[in-house]
Structure 1
Amino acid sequence: MNTLDRTLFHLINNWGSRSSYLDAVGIFFAEMSPYLLAAFLIFSWIRNRNYPEKRGILLIAALSFAVSEVLAKLMGKFYYHVQPFVTLEANQLIAKDVNNSFPSDHTVLMVSFLFVLFLAGSSKSKWLYLCWAFLASIARIFVGVHYPSDVLVAALTAIAVGSVCYYSLRRVRWLREFVDWLSNMEKKLVHRRT
């Protein structure tokens, strides 16, 4: 697996530093995706103020991330390896502290949220969520800060947890009640400020 991991890493990472445009795209997805996701989630929460079922999906996605991140941290306690740019000849395109790169936190974050949104989607545009998750994840290899195994394990963990969370929670009554409670608290806070 170690040899395959390195081979796949070089296959992707060797595209780095060939084109300034490709580098810019890779760096953008590797670094900016979490910020764009946060903005998108805030926008979605506000836009869906009158659709509690859609707000419920956002909460399921948040729970999926929380559980996936805990599992990822536990896995990181049992398996450790540093970023590939430390031990291999790599095109390191972004700055990164040296620590345990297994599994990829960025991938856990992106896949946790976007896979649940994909499952809940009803139009063909839902596939854009998977494309975004894939590009954000593969970009971490492209910029030289993660091995493919870091990304693959993180993605599989997030997909498994996201599937369980979505299919077990999407119709539970307490989730709807919790969304209603949050929405009422939100209205009270907005009312106080106006």
Structure 2
Amino acid sequence: MYEIDATLTGWINALAGDTFPDRIMVCVSAYGVPLLVLVVAANWWSGPDRLKTRHALVATGPAFLLGLGINQIILLFIDRIRPYDAGITHLLIAPSGDPSFPSDHATAAFAIAAGLLLHSMPRRGLAFLAAALLISISRVYVGTHYVSDVMGGALTGVLAAFLIKSLYKPQAALDRFITGVL
């Protein structure tokens, strides 16, 4: 299984080569998640059903944080070397000091996308899903993650979104307070 993962990772990273797409992927890798968070915040005042929209937007925050928290627990048990340290990829960005699995970028992006999709916001959710896929591919392209790292991160993000969906109910007192702001 590792051989397949390493081969796929190497193929994606081999597309890099001091070209214009390299610069785009480096930017997506660096700024993709913060940009998604800004877009979530900007959607606070949009949509015909503001309370439903706001409930979904608020739910993405705890899903994002829970996903990253789950990753920290996983890191206690799995200490995977980065693909550039294993000689599989060449790195286009600064090296990271933490283990490779799972990808926090993929977790965050997929938690947001899944949160919107689970809260019946298909248009926004699919747009965020496309962005999450691009961010995940960029992490492999720039050489910092294996394909399975971003897949694991995506799974963690989706799991976190499901957990938050089951816990954070619309029209509960907390929800009415938060969604009523501004």
The answer to whether the 8 Å contact 1:52/1:179 transfers is no
Q: Is the 8 A contact 1:118 1:129 kept in 2?
A: no
- 2:8 maps to what in 1? 8
Rg larger for: 1
Mapped to 1, the partners of 2:179 and 2:92 lie a distance apart of 45
The CA deviation at 1:53 is 2.2
Aligned residue pairs total 182
Paired residue for 2:175?
176
Aligned 8 A contact 1:61 1:117 in 2: yes
Contact map agreement 1:52 1:176 (CA 8 A) in 2: no
Of all paired residues, the percent bearing the same amino acid is: 24
Distance in 2 of aligned mates of 1:109 and 1:34: 7
Counterparts of 2:97 and 2:123, CA distance in 1: 40
SS of residue paired to 1:102: coil
Q: Distance in 2 between matches of 1:125 and 1:62?
A: 15
With the length of structure 1 as denominator, give the TM-score of the two structures: 0.83
Equivalent residue letter for 2:161? G
Tell me which moved more, 169-178 or 145-154: 169-178
Distance of 2:27 and 2:78 partners within structure 1: 29
Corresponding residue for residue 149 of structure 1:
148
Quick one: distance in 1 between partners of 2:152 and 2:85?
Answer: 20
Q: Is the 8 A contact 1:82 1:100 kept in 2?
A: yes
Which whole-Å CA distance do the structure 1 matches of 2:74 and 2:83 have between them? 18
**C-alpha separation between the residues in 2 aligned to 1:60 and 1:15?**
36
Contact 1:83–1:98, Cα closer than 8 Å, also in 2: no
> How large is the Cα RMSD of the aligned pairs?
2.3
**Hey, what's the Cα distance between the residues in 1 that align with 2:96 and 2:124?**
36
Structure with greater helix share of residues: 1
| Aligned partner letter, 2:44 | W
Partner of 2:58: 59
Instruction: Show structure 2 runs of 5+ residues with no match.
Output: none
Residue 160 of structure 1: aligned partner: 159
Listed as ranges, the matches of 1:89-168 within 5 Å are 89-122=88-121, 124=123, 126-168=125-167
Unaligned runs of 5+ in 1: 188-194
In structure 1, C-alpha distance between the alignment counterparts of 2:19 and 2:11, rounded to whole Å: 18
Shift of 1:71: 0.9
Distance 1:125 1:66, change over 3 A: closer
Distance across 2 between alignment mates of 1:116 and 1:142: 26
SS in structure 1 of the partner of residue 85 of structure 2: helix
Tell me the distance in 1 between the aligned counterparts of 2:124 and 2:34: 21
